[in-house]
Structure formats: C-alpha cells, structure tokens
Amino acid sequence: MATSLNEKQIAAYWNDGFLFPLSVLSTSQAIGYRQQLESIENNSNLHSSPRPLNDYIRTHSDVVMPMAAELALQATVLDAVEGIIGPDIMIWGADFFIKEANSPMQVSMHQDLTYWGFGETPNQVTAWIALSSSTVESGCVDLVKGSHKSPILPHTDTQAEDNLLSRGQEVAVDVRDEDRTHVVLTPGEMSLHHGLAIHGSNPNGSNDRRIGFAIRYINPDAQQQSVRREYAMLARGVDRSEAFIHYAPPSSLFSANSLGLYEEIKQSQAKVLMADMKTPT
C-alpha cells in the first residue's frame, strides 16, 4: 500500500504532471466499494430524491454518500496527496466517472483548472481511484506528459451528448495519439494528476463498467477567485485561511441535511463552473 511518496515519486509528479500507479486499496476493498456504489444505484427507494440519482453520484458524492466520503478520506490516499500539496488537505469535490460496458461516452481532452476558479494554482491535485479495471479498451484516462507546465489554454464548450463533462469542454489544441500516456489501473490503484495537465478518455469498448472515483484535493493556499467563500471538507491538518466553509462527512445516505447542503454547494459552484459558458455554433 502507498504511504508517503518518496522523493523520486514527487519529482516524477512535478516533471510529468501525473503519477501512477499507486496502490491505495486492496482488491477486496475496491470490490467492496464498487458493491456499495452499485447497491445505491439499484435501490429504487432512492429514486425519489429531489434530483436524478446520477447527479449525486456524478458530482459531490462525498456530501450525500457516506461511502464516498469514507473513500475520499482513506489514509493511504491522503498520505500520497500530502506528498504533493502538503499536510493541510481539503476535499473540494468527489465525483464518480462511470462508463457503462460498450458505451460511447467519453471525456474530451481538457485541463481541470480552466473552470475551477482557482487560477493556475499548484495547490491542488486530483486523485483518480479505479474501482474496476481501467484499461485502454475500457477507456482509461489519457494524460499528456509535461502539459501542466503550460498556462490555462483556450477551451471550447462542445456540450456534446456523449461527453461526461458538464460543458463538454475541450482544449483548443491538437493532441496527437502518440502524446497520450494511458493510465492503466487495476481495482484499488490510483493516479494523481495536476489541474493543468491535459487529459481525457476514450469510450468503453469492454464488457464491464469502467468505474473511477475522482477526488479534487486542495490546500488552504488555493484561493477561489470567483466567489467570496468556497465549500470544502477538511480531510487532514488545519485551515487558517477563513476562505472556506467546512462541512462534515454525511452521517447517513441522502439525509435531509446533506441534501440541503448539496444544493447550497451546487448553486455556489455553478457560478464558477458555468461562468462564461457559450453555446457552440
């Protein structure tokens, strides 16, 4: 299991803009989390929630789903993250990216920080945990080595129906196939990537679901530029910035309190994530 990153791993991350594979869960743990997720998906009693169930799974799942918060707070994950952004760690978002078997859904090549409202800060990292096999065939994440050394590049909002991103955002530069690094992971393995690293993924051509859990970690030096105060869950260390509204892990699945908090966070972050969105012509 991964603990703290060593100097070689940290250097590789800052040189390439990403690091993988890191073992953070046993295979049985990864299978267990997948089973918990799929049990939630298959529970018809939850389909009366104010939003479609997939909304809660797809974004800010840690706010309303205890298993998602538990996974984002795993010590092995936080130990690795600490090697990148330091001991004061907050969760800004936690999203399940699911591609069904033989699905055309894809993620266009993009930079995360384009729409996050934190500018080009280095005080963030995304951890991507595989809960099923993530292979070239199943549409694993592809990253462009060294692209995090570029500034935020122009993007186009495609709003394509086969795109898992909220705006279908796509970086307005050509990415050659030979420039892609395929992030192949087995269940329980994790990758880390910088918010400026260009990345995306192709459709799932396999006979199994491709399930990944992406956690957006920041430290208190990541200052939101678009809203006065941002929401975050304190995962480790302290936050003396007074720039964040902290929330606790949910005590139960889809409780009234957590559903209300979810709406507050969605409304606040929509002002940032959907700012200046243009309809493609």
CATH number at residue 70: 2.60.120.620
For residue 47, what are the domain limits? 7-273
Total count of residues recorded for the chain: 281
CA distances from 65 to 96, 202, 252 (A): 11, 28, 7
Strand order in the sheet with 180-183: 107-110, 199-201, 141-144, 180-183
Is 187 a member of any domain?
A: yes
Q: What is the number of H-type helices and E-type strands within the chain?
A: 7, 13
Total of domains in the chain: 1
| 279 found inside a domain | no
Half-sphere exposure of 44 (CA within 13 A, CB side): 0
**Is residue 2 assigned to a domain?**
no
Q: Is residue 280 part of a domain?
A: no
pTM of the model: 0.92
Structure token pair of residue 4: 């703290």
Q: What is the per-residue pLDDT for 49?
A: 79
Residue 155 lies in a domain: yes
Please indicate, yes or no, if residue 278 is contained in any of the structural domains: no
Question: What is the model's pLDDT at position 279?
Answer: 47
Q: How far apart are CA 164 and CA 98, in angstroms?
A: 9
Let me know if residue 12 belongs to a domain. yes
In a domain, 281, yes or no: no
pLDDT computed for residue 173 by the predictor: 73
Instruction: Count CB-CB contacts under 10 A for residue 233.
Output: 21
Q: Which residues contact 90 (CB under 8 A, 6 or more apart)?
A: 217, 218, 219, 220, 232, 233, 234, 235, 239, 244, 246
**What is the three-class DSSP state of 59?**
coil
- Cβ atoms of 106 and 139 within 8 Å: the answer is yes
List, in order, residues 6 or more apart from 242 with CB less than 8 Å away: none
Confidence at residue 281, expressed as pLDDT on a 0 to 100 scale: 42
Helix (H) or strand (E) holding 198: none
Which residue type, as a one-letter code, is found at position 62?
A: D
Distance CA(35)–CA(131), nearest Å, equals 9
In order along its 281 residues, the chain shows pLDDT tens digits of 556 899 999 999 999 999 999 999 999 999 999 999 999 999 877 767 789 999 999 999 999 999 999 999 999 999 999 999 999 999 999 999 999 999 998 888 899 998 888 999 999 999 999 999 999 999 999 999 999 999 888 877 766 677 776 555 767 677 888 999 999 999 999 999 999 999 999 999 999 999 999 999 999 999 888 777 899 999 999 999 999 999 999 999 999 999 999 999 998 887 766 556 554 44
Query: DSSP secondary-structure letter at 185?
Result: B
Q: Which residue has the tokens 């018809």?
A: 44
Q: What three-state secondary structure class fits 156?
A: strand
28 residue type, one letter? S
- 244-246 and 230-236 beta bridge pairing: parallel
Helix or strand run (H / E) with residue 12: helix 7-16
Q: What is the pLDDT of residue 174?
A: 76
